[in-house]
């Protein structure tokens, strides 16, 4: 069981029927679970609470990036020494959390990025694989970091990293902003093989375009 | 002197007068700030002058090295529109962030604690 100053943050939007299972499996590894209900219209909050998580509720949907930042703020206020970002839908394996966070806990890294290409994927649709390769390139252009898996939500951060990184990209573009911040702040990072199981598609081509537009707008107006 | 007045000129002047009256009305109602009202009033006035005395646009255009007054008006309008669009986008972006900050503050104000978490904290 991970120490009580490690927090797992799970952003969730309409994950009733899945979130309970996810929280329960994470609970085997970590007791401090923060589910951020990003404006769900189903029983996500209640289900997460029953399973043993703390729930922070966004009254309006703001996006995964915003949810993670909210959860991180809470965790830091509770004295977190490290935080782990974890998906609500069961794509990640809770058993991999301790391994993932190891180098943060022993102080050799400030940020650990999960990589399904270093690890393994189960049921990855072919088109999605190509989309990910393209987004890897786009990501490298925007962040200056070459990661093998551009948009992997399984991320571990030390307290120092979590305090210094402020996610202002509310939606999926946070996945690009985060490594960009790591680079800008000169934080030590590493990649960790992880398993990603697919039952739903996730970001498609239109999703990818939306992310690109968010990133460009950011460059244009700020 | 036979003065040929184009329909467009008449419409431009009439519209300009109408627009200025609306600006004055909105400024009186407090919906437009004095500064913004002045800017818009000047713009509509310029439109009216251009309509009543189209020679002015040609003079101005030639000063810029552009042939026609109407071409100059179009170019200036496009530039102004791009700038206005940029300002609107920046404002929207700022508002997006403000809304998220509010949503976040509300969420953090009332964390829902499970019985497990209560045990850990106590």
**Do A80 and A14 meet the contact criterion of CB atoms below 8 Å apart?**
no
Q: Which residue has 């818009």 as its token pair?
A: B40
ipTM (interface predicted TM)? 0.89
Please give the radius of gyration of chain B, using alpha carbons only, rounded to the nearest integer. Answer: 26
The angle subtended at Cα A62 by Cα A14 and Cα A70, nearest 5°, is 95
Chain B residues within an 8 Å CB radius of A59:
103, 106-107
**Do A70 and A12 meet the contact criterion of CB atoms below 8 Å apart?**
no
Q: How large is the average pLDDT for residues B18-31?
A: 91
User: How distant, in Å, are the alpha carbons of A7, A36, A85, A199, A201 from that of A44?
Assistant: 19, 10, 18, 19, 20
Residues in chain A, pLDDT under 70: 200-204, 222
Q: Which of B86, B97, B110 sits opposite A168 (nearest CB)?
A: B97
User: How distant, in Å, are the alpha carbons of A67, A117, A212 from that of A139?
Assistant: 21, 15, 9
- Give tens-digit pLDDT for A51-105: 999 999 999 999 999 999 999 999 999 999 999 999 999 999 999 999 999 999 9
User: How distant, in Å, are the alpha carbons of A69, A82, A108, B70, B96 from that of A160?
Assistant: 14, 8, 13, 60, 27
Q: How large is the average pLDDT for residues B59-66?
A: 81
The alpha carbon dihedral of A180, A181, A186, A187 has a sign of: negative
Does B103 contact chain A (CB < 8 Å)? yes
Between B117 and A188, the more confident residue is A188
The angle subtended at Cα A7 by Cα B115 and Cα A93, nearest 5°, is 100
Per the CB < 8 Å rule, is A221 touching B89?
yes
Per the CB < 8 Å rule, is B116 touching A50?
no
Mutate to test the interface with A, among B112, B113, B119, B120 (most CBs of A within 10 A): B112
Backbone angles phi, psi at A119, to 5 degrees: -95, -120
**Residue B2: predicted pLDDT:** 41
**Residue B5: predicted pLDDT:** 66
Taking one residue from A and the other from B, the number of pairs with CB-CB distance under 8 angstroms is 73
User: Coil, strand, or helix at residue A162?
Assistant: helix
Nearest CA in chain A to B113: A54
- Beta-carbon contacts of residue B47 (< 8 Å; ≥ 6 apart): B12, B15, B16, B19
CA distance B21 to chain A (A): 34
Buried b (16+ CB within 10 A) or exposed e, A123-157: eeeeebeebbeebbebbeebbebebbbbbbbbbbb
Quick one: pLDDT band at residue B92, thresholds 50, 70, 90? Answer: very high
**Residue B66: predicted pLDDT:** 77
Quick one: pLDDT band at residue B4, thresholds 50, 70, 90? Answer: low
Burial group, residue A199, by CB count within 10 angstroms (0-12, 13-18, 19+): exposed
CA distance B121 to chain A (A): 9
User: How distant, in Å, are the alpha carbons of A16, A45, A172, A197 from that of A19?
Assistant: 6, 9, 20, 15
Does B85 contact chain A (CB < 8 Å)? no
Per the CB < 8 Å rule, is B117 touching A32?
yes
Buried b (16+ CB within 10 A) or exposed e, A34-50: bbbbbbbeebbbebbbe
Q: Which of A193-197, B7-11, B85-89 has the lowest mean pLDDT?
A: B7-11
Backbone angles phi, psi at A83, to 5 degrees: -130, 150
Q: Is the pLDDT of residue B63 over 80?
A: yes
**Residue A179: predicted pLDDT:** 93
**Residue A104: predicted pLDDT:** 95
Does B96 contact chain A (CB < 8 Å)? yes
Chain B residues within an 8 Å CB radius of A56:
107-108, 111-112
């Amino acid at each position: 069981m991970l120490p009580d100053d490690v927090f797992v943050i799970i952003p969730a939007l309409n994950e009733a029927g899945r979130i309970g299972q996810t929280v329960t499996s994470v609970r085997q590894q970590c007791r401090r679970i923060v589910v951020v209900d990003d404006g769900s219209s189903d029983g996500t909050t209640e289900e997460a609470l029953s399973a043993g998580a703390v729930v922070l509720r966004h009254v309006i949907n703001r996006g995964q990036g915003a949810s993670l930042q909210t959860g991180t703020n809470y965790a830091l206020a509770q004295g977190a020494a490290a935080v782990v970002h974890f998906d609500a839908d069961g794509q990640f394996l809770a058993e991999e959390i301790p391994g993932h966070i190891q180098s943060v806990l022993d102080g050799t890294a400030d940020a650990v990025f999960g990589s399904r290409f270093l690890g393994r994927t189960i049921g990855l649709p072919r088109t999605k694989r190509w989309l990910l390769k393209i987004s890897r390139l786009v990501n490298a252009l925007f962040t200056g970091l070459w990661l093998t898996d551009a948009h992997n939500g399984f991320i571990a951060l030390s307290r120092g990293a979590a305090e210094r990184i402020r996610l202002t990209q509310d939606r999926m573009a946070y996945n690009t902003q985060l490594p960009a911040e790591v680079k800008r702040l000169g934080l030590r990072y590493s990649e960790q093989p992880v398993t990603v199981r697919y039952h739903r598609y996730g970001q498609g081509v239109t999703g990818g375009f939306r992310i690109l537009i968010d990133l460009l707008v950011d460059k244009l107006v700020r | 002197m036979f003065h040929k007045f184009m329909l467009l000129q008449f419409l431009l002047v009439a519209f300009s007068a109408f627009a200025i009256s609306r600006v004055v009305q909105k400024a009186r109602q407090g919906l437009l700030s004095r500064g913004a009202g002045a800017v818009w009033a000047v713009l509509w006035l310029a439109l009216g002058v251009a309509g009543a005395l189209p020679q002015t646009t040609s003079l101005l255009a030639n000063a810029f090295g552009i042939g026609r007054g109407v071409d100059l008006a179009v170019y200036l309008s496009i530039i102004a529109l791009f700038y206005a669009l940029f300002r609107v986008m920046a404002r929207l972006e700022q508002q997006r962030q403000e809304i998220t900050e509010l949503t976040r503050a509300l969420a953090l104000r009332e964390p829902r604690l499970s019985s497990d978490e209560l045990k850990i904290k106590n």
